[in-house]
Amino acid sequence: MTNIHDIAKQAGVSVSTVSRVLNNYKYVASDKRAAVLDIIEALNYTPNKHAIDLIRGETRNIGVILPYNNNTAFDQLLHGILNKASKQDYLITVLPSQYDKAKEIGYLEKIKSKLFDGIILTSRANDWEKIVPYSQYGPIISCEFTEQPEIGCAYTDRYRSFLDALQLLKNKGHQAVAFTTARLASNSTTQIIAAYQEIFGDIPAGYHITNCQSLDDGYAAAQQFMQLPERPSAIYANGDEVAGGIYLYAQSQQLQIPSDVAIIGQENQPVGIGLGLSTVDHQLTKIGEQALNLVIHRSKEKVNIPYQMVERQSM
Amino acid sequence: MTNIHDIAKQAGVSVSTVSRVLNNYKYVASDKRAAVLDIIEALNYTPNKHAIDLIRGETRNIGVILPYNNNTAFDQLLHGILNKASKQDYLITVLPSQYDKAKEIGYLEKIKSKLFDGIILTSRANDWEKIVPYSQYGPIISCEFTEQPEIGCAYTDRYRSFLDALQLLKNKGHQAVAFTTARLASNSTTQIIAAYQEIFGDIPAGYHITNCQSLDDGYAAAQQFMQLPERPSAIYANGDEVAGGIYLYAQSQQLQIPSDVAIIGQENQPVGIGLGLSTVDHQLTKIGEQALNLVIHRSKEKVNIPYQMVERQSM
DNA sequence: CTAATTGATGAAATGCATTTCAAGTCAAGC
DNA sequence: GCTTGACTTGAAATGCATTTCATCAATTAG
């Protein structure tokens, strides 16, 4: 491989001068600059990124830890991150963790090895105490709220959002509200359970189904809900794909929506538009964008992104 | 930052010995090894990845150029790539191009600068002649077929798949078959048009709608198709989300599926399972996995992944 | 009891570009 | 005529870990 020394030799200047040309410094005689540029062109030279990163100690590469790489919600987050990154000339490396603690730590170690300038955590498997120490090597930003002072976050207030949505259902006269969630151990699930209890009290048996991700999970969940002795009059799904499945099952049973059963989804995903599903938009794309901003500014701010109720016909 | 010299000094050995410990060589006296390990622990040392990459000339980082970062099909590809990469201990950097030629070239330049060991092209904006020269710096693998000898690819035979699907519809008695596509300028669109002409001859006016990506695009397309003086009896959608939209529109019009209108989608996506949509599975996840294999083996093979017909109730 | 291994270790070279420091030229200002 | 500031430029230090080469000790084989 040809390197900066080769260029210097061929152009009859010192490496410093080549470096100056490469980095567009003023104070390089125009004939030398031209000569260097010519040789660079002739030798088809490109500076070695590792050498640059090594000496500069900066990479413009951000790692994004995401548990699932085929989940619409994380895709939305990633979408926002990529948008902003692309504009700011940052590169994004995706780090799939499957909620594996060791894997997650492995990725965090990479910030210590200087591979990344910062890391965005879309969700996490480890306790904060395991994660926080890594923030001394570079900014770590969470897409969920955290009170950890060392960790900046861009988040939406899930608890309030759940309270709002459930209260809205209650106000519309629903007493029998069922809901679906993804991972039982997630932050989001904890929040909705708390909100549910706040609004409706104890969760009736069978009114909460977990591990719902896709449209057919929703379909299956709806089937279960509808076989319950006391059928729910409204269902709050943890995503619009799941809500879509619920909608389709209801429709297959000739149930009227929303009179027989009301449905609300989350995240305002494309499937919901066609089906006219009401949804709570947690603004995941915006959260992603904001998270990226926080990393590149090495900020430890807590940025609250307001969620949005999108009322369509299913509620 | 503490570096390998610090460790060497504190442990009373040479940097070579530290390096040997770091890389698990035999032939290090166990007491020295222990001493080094102790100091590493005490000083909380992690080797600098840039220094390693610089000297090794290898990164275990693969770039994946993808035009859209919020498109289900590319997500499936990426999903496959990430799965394999994670297992093989490779990192994936996603490079969103929006089909911008300059951006794409910019990403390819990065393989020249040694940032990536290889690049996977899920789709491309530039002509091959612009892309091929970069393959001298590292493997470039395409997820579409190419006859370029320098470029390995993992692909499915789109033309055959389209021929098959359309022939199947014809055999079932359909003469009026409409179809949707994504970008007009894409490889896939070119193939389906050719296949269509092969099977059915000229495309009737209004029988081809482009720029369909999401469920509501499908919904809108169906609406247009159904207003045509000669209504199609079957629609071949360019994805299951789009097919889902078509399904929902048809249902909203009390049309029987498949007797009034048959629908086939592509890619076997979750939405299709719930709706019972027939689909042609182009095995995007497998293609992604295979593409990653090709990069890490620096192979220029052309690997054909067979597509699969998935017959459900919509056809 | 030599010759040939195996084991252990450090000095120095290597990979590559950036940046600081010192030094030198030349023209403008007093 | 001398000082000062704007330009130019190169040598050398820097960032960090790997690897080759040479050396030396301790065995083992013959």
pLDDT in tens, B212-242: 998 889 999 999 999 999 999 999 999 999 9
- The gap between A264 CA and D3 C1' (Å) is 81
Cβ contact B14 with chain C strand, < 7 A: yes
B55 touches strand C (CB under 7 A): yes
Q: Give B 208-227 residues with CB within 8 A of chain A.
A: 214-216, 218-219
Tell me if B49 and A114 make a contact (CB, 8 A cut-off).
yes
Q: Does B76 touch chain A (CB under 8 A)?
A: yes
Structural domains of chain A in order of their starting residue, each with its CATH number: 4-47 (1.10.260.40), 57-156+285-306 (3.40.50.2300), 158-281 (3.40.50.2300)
pLDDT value of residue B215: 86
- pLDDT for position B139: 97
Mean of pLDDT over chain A: 95
Residues of chain B with pLDDT under 50: none
- HEC per residue, chain B: CCCHHHHHHHHCCCHHHHHHHHCCCCCCCHHHHHHHHHHHHHHCCCCCHHHHHHHHCCCCEEEEEECCCCCHHHHHHHHHHHHHHHHHCCEEEEEECCCCHHHHHHHHHHHHCCCCCEEEECCCCCCHHHHHHHHHCCCEEECCCCCCCCCEEEECCHHHHHHHHHHHHHHCCCCCEEEECCCCCCHHHHHHHHHHHHHHCCCCCCCEECCCCCHHHHHHHHHHHHCCCCCCCEEECCCHHHHHHHHHHHHHCCCCCCCCCEEEEECCCHHHHHHCCEEEECCHHHHHHHHHHHHHCCCCCEEECCCEEECCCCC
Q: How many CB pairs under 8 A join A and B?
A: 119
A219 contacts on B by Cβ (under 8 Å): 274
CB contact under 8 A, B270 and A216: yes
Quote the pLDDT of residue B251. 87
pLDDT in tens, A61-113: 999 999 988 788 999 999 999 999 999 999 999 999 999 999 999 999 999 99
Please say if the pLDDT value at position A198 is more than 90: yes
Residue closest to sugar C1' of C15 by CA: B55
Give the rounded percent of residues in chain A with a pLDDT score beyond 70: 100
Over the stretch B104-158, which tens digit does the pLDDT of each residue have?
999 999 999 999 999 999 999 999 999 999 999 999 999 999 999 999 999 999 9
C1' (C12) to CA (B5) span, angstroms = 14
Bases in strand D with any atom closer than 7 Å to a protein CB: 7-20
Chain A contact probe: residue of B103, B111, B241, B248 with most A CBs at under 10 A: B248
